[in-house]
Structure 1
């Protein structure tokens, strides 16, 4: 017969192994594709707890699902079903060459609806960064809020209007340049402007390489994307929170909050005093806690 201390030690080892296996299982990522109504293929990824409350993350201009790496590996968020996808013209998703594929905001709304439907996400919380917030707004305008639990806008584009977007005309001009060196230098400048607190060099280089995957046609056309703000933000009755960095160099946080709350007085907002355009990267631990609190409140047990 084994000594009781050996039995107890064996039990502790087995519990530790099972916990490690559980963490690995949660950390594993599922990859698949979804086809949008206009035929564009969208790359989708899932991680976290497949049985937890669903969260759909929508990245911003020149990003991809890699923008959300800190959230995908966050211990705070592993109890949720974490769904990301690459926007049209970005990352591993399809890159149509016609301008209308990017200027018509309904296409972006249809993409998000297709991801929600194909993933069978029940009452997800939508999280949109920068341009991703405008995608959610167009989704709300086209599909309403019946299928979602709420939304969080991070450095969100409320409308593509000069008073809401910080002026960087040279950067946006050069993003559309046919000269490759000019174009790539503009992508580096744009990415640098995303952060008040710059990420570590490896993360920055990965995000920069990721930006280079974005479609040139998309970068030329997207600044003319329609955003149905009144119909989307103005009509939703589900919880909606705006999170901005007070030092955002790409979006005017104060004016954006004012415009959003004018459209919908029920909207809540929060400023991260030290962060720039990407609080979820710059202050990821704080962001993850705020997001977790929002998800739990939107999904009462």
Structure 2
């Protein structure tokens, strides 16, 4: 064996050893467990990434699950963080109560998030909420304040359920609650179609549809009346808050919604993705992951 070849082999071994020593996140195994919300609902939680990294808790939207965040869980940009996801009540692998109050009372969703933070022992996590997940963050801020978190990101998040912020889709929302299976499934397909300016690939679309099929019908009937008090939540937030919205969003009016949030709290920052719809983290994942990483890094410097 030549000296040159041996040197290259030795260098490769050093690089490999360094990766093992410095990048535990690359080899971290996914961990799943269940916690109990204050009202007894079982919440399915998942963890991946670097268990010693800064924590990010991702909160999916209506008809979703933790699978919505695959583009973040598998992102090289975000592997260095401790990534925590969970299925919201009425969704995915979490409990599905039948009482409407379990869904209309926004404070119960806040209790779920508080339980995930406490049970995971996440220290000052950053919260990332998509769509309905934004309502969950707002309810959390209203009930628990922001002492236990480092910051929050609203991803096309619902700020208020008001006509100037939420475009009307009366047929879709009506048919989501239809007892007729075909009518309901057609509405699910239409709702998911409205989530994107650039439609995802067939595999992702199929997974999204399967997510929706697992969602509780009781939840879908009740959740459109969920309570949220944005002035008490965002208006009093002291931690950094970032808004990332798609300019082509068909489910949330991006500019009026962002303007309302910034009026409530002038310290809030915003990014508008010109070519994304309601799901920029799926439509432009590389850009989203870079922006999220940069934001989270600023939190650790405070």
**TM-score class normalised by the smaller sequence:** over 0.9
**2:142 partner SS:** helix
Q: 2:38 maps to which residue?
A: 37
Deviations 1:95-135 (A, max 9, x none): 00000000000000000000000000101110000000010
Q: How far is the alpha carbon of 1:23 from its aligned partner?
A: 6.1
* Structure 2 partner of 1:272: 273
Q: Within 2, Cα distance between the matches of 1:207 and 1:16?
A: 39
**Alpha-carbon distance in 1 for matches of 2:3, 2:33:** 49
Task: Tell me, in whole angstroms, the C-alpha distance in 2 between the residues paired with 1:86 and 1:101.
Answer: 15
The match for 1:186 is 187
Tell me whether 1:168 sits opposite 2:173 in the alignment.
no
1:247 corresponds to: 248
- Equivalent residues in 2 for 1:9-24, closer than 5 Å: 9-15=8-14, 18=17, 19=19, 22=24, 24=26
Residues matched between the structures, number: 299
Aligned to 1:259: 260
Give the 3 Å change call, closer, same or farther, for CA 208–16 of structure 1 in structure 2. Answer: farther
Where does the alignment leave 5 or more consecutive residues of structure 1 unmatched? Answer: none
Q: Would the alpha carbon gap of residues 182 and 15 (structure 1) be closer, same or farther in structure 2, given more than 3 Å must change? A: farther
Instruction: Provide the residue aligned with 1:99 in structure 2.
Output: 100
CA displacement at 1:248 relative to structure 2: 0.2
Contiguous gaps of at least 5 residues in structure 2: none
> Which position in structure 1 is the counterpart of 2:178?
177
Whether contact under 8 Å (2:60, 2:131) holds in the other structure is: yes
Range 206-215 or range 8-17, more displaced: 8-17
Change (3 A) 1:23 1:297: closer
**Residue equivalent to 1:25:** 27
Aligned to 2:67: 66
Q: CA deviation at 1:282?
A: 0.3
SS of the residue aligned with 2:236? coil
Partner of 2:85: 84
- Distance across 1 between alignment mates of 2:220 and 2:249: 21
Structural RMSD (CA): 1.6
Deviations 1:208-246, CA, capped at 9 Å, x for gaps: 111110000000000000012111111111100111100
Query: Is residue 72–residue 78 contact of structure 2 (8 Å, CA) maintained in 1?
Result: yes
TM-superposition CA deviations, 1:122-164 (whole Å, max 9, x none): 0111000000001000000000001110000000100112221
TM-score by length of 1: 0.95
| Cα distance, 1:47 vs structure 2 | 0.7
After TM superposition, the runs of 4+ consecutive aligned structure 1 residues lying more than 4 A away are 2-7, 15-18, 20-24
Compute the TM-score of the two structures, normalised by the length of structure 2. 0.95
Counterpart position of 2:213: 212
Residues 44-71 of structure 1, C-alpha deviations (whole Å, 9 max, x = no match): 0111111111100000000100000000
